[in-house]
């Protein structure tokens, strides 16, 4: 196995940290937009209570079995009618 120089590893870590930061920002913006659409921006709620509610919602989604995509459910994907 070829070993990487420590400088190259640090560069890769820095690049990955930047990618993580960007991904987290996109996720936060997406969740924020959905929360606002649901009316949570107008609700007076303690941040700790909101975190608890979000945690419960996330746990509920994790327990659910994986479902077919909307396209599959509508029968619009190629695999739905047996065609390849």
- Does residue 19 sit within a domain? yes
Supply the pLDDT for residue 71.
52
Q: What is the DSSP string of the chain?
A: -PPPPHHHHHHHHHHHHHHHHHHHHHHHHHHHHHHHHTTGGGS---HHHHHHHHHHHHHHHHHSPP---HHHHHT-SGGGGT--
- Does residue 47 sit within a domain? yes
The predicted-structure confidence for 21-60, as pLDDT tens digits, reads as follows 999 999 999 999 999 999 999 999 999 999 999 999 999 9
- Does residue 14 sit within a domain? yes
- Does residue 32 sit within a domain? yes
Domain range holding 17? 9-64
Supply the pLDDT for residue 13.
97
Given a contact cutoff of 8 angstroms between Cβ atoms, the answer to whether 12 and 6 are in contact is no
pTM score over 0.75? no
- Does residue 58 sit within a domain? yes
Region 65-79 average pLDDT: 57
pLDDT of 2 above 80: no
């Amino acid at each position: 196995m070829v070993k990487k120089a420590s400088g190259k590893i640090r560069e890769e870590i820095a690049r990955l940290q930047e990618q993580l930061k960007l991904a987290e920002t996109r996720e936060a913006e997406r969740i924020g937009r959905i929360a606002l659409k649901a009316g949570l921006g107008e609700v007076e709620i303690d941040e700790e209570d909101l975190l608890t509610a979000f945690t419960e919602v996330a746990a509920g989604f994790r327990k659910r079995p994986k479902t077919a995509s909307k396209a599959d459910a509508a029968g619009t994907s190629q695999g739905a009618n047996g065609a390849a």
